[in-house]
Homo-oligomer: A and B are copies of this chain.
Amino acid sequence: MSQAAPRAKAGAGVQRRSEITRARILQVSQQLFSQNGYDATGVAEICAAAAVSKGAFYHHFPSKQAVFMTLLEGWLAALDEQMLPLLEGARSVAEGIQQAASITGLVFASASGQLPMFLEFWRESSHDPLVWQATIAPYRRYQELFASLVRKGIEEGSLRPVDPNSAARTIVALAFGLILQGVIDPHGADWGEVTQNGIRLFMEGLSK
């Protein structure tokens, strides 16, 4: 449709057309994957929803799976961006973990529409080695991060001498379990609040 617009030198921020297309494909894919699942979402469906031809789709992505992987990587990167500074910059161990929990609450509020993607990622990762690799690495990183945090707390004397690895895995389990429940039963509770309470309870068992 061309739309004249000779140029709009606006220069700044003008995404190249192709970038817009690419972004639209990603956004629409995320929505559809969340809504109907990965397998159930067809490439044609994505194209229709993104108002893009199949040719354009395959120009930007080599496969449907590649779209999925891109989404996954973006998801993990965003998580890191929010999570890591909080944990690493925490003054005390308890504070760090508590703050991480509050982030989880935020995740519930903001990303509730895309939460089902979490399930898609995990399910896919148990079948697809490529997805597994992308999922497991950050997962282990978080686990070790929590473990070292607990270890530090024990050394400092603020935490009871528990097994740091078990504790870390338990914390991760808590987070995953809450997300899982949030996915299936979004209106069953104020999940942000439940998270806060749960972590607090847990931390009280952990503290001296």
A interface with B by C-beta (< 8 Å): 36-37, 39-40, 116, 119-120, 122-123, 125-127, 132, 135-136, 139-140, 162-163, 165-167, 169-170, 172-178, 180-181, 183-185, 188-189, 193-194, 197-198, 200-206
Contact = CB atoms under 8 A, between A and B. Distances in A.
Contact of A180 (B37, B166, B176, B198): B176
A66 to B, nearest CB: 18
Nearest to A191: B169
A121 to B, nearest CB: 10
Nearest to A193: B166
A181 B37 CA distance: 21
Identical subunits present: 2
A185 B173 CA distance: 12
Listed residue (A183, A198, A203) with the most chain B CB atoms within 10 angstroms of its CB: A198
A205 B202 CA distance: 6
A161 to B, nearest CB: 12
A84 to B, nearest CB: 20
Contacts of A173: 173-174, 176-178, 180-181, 194, 198
Given A173-B180, A173-B181, A180-B173, A201 B162 contact: yes
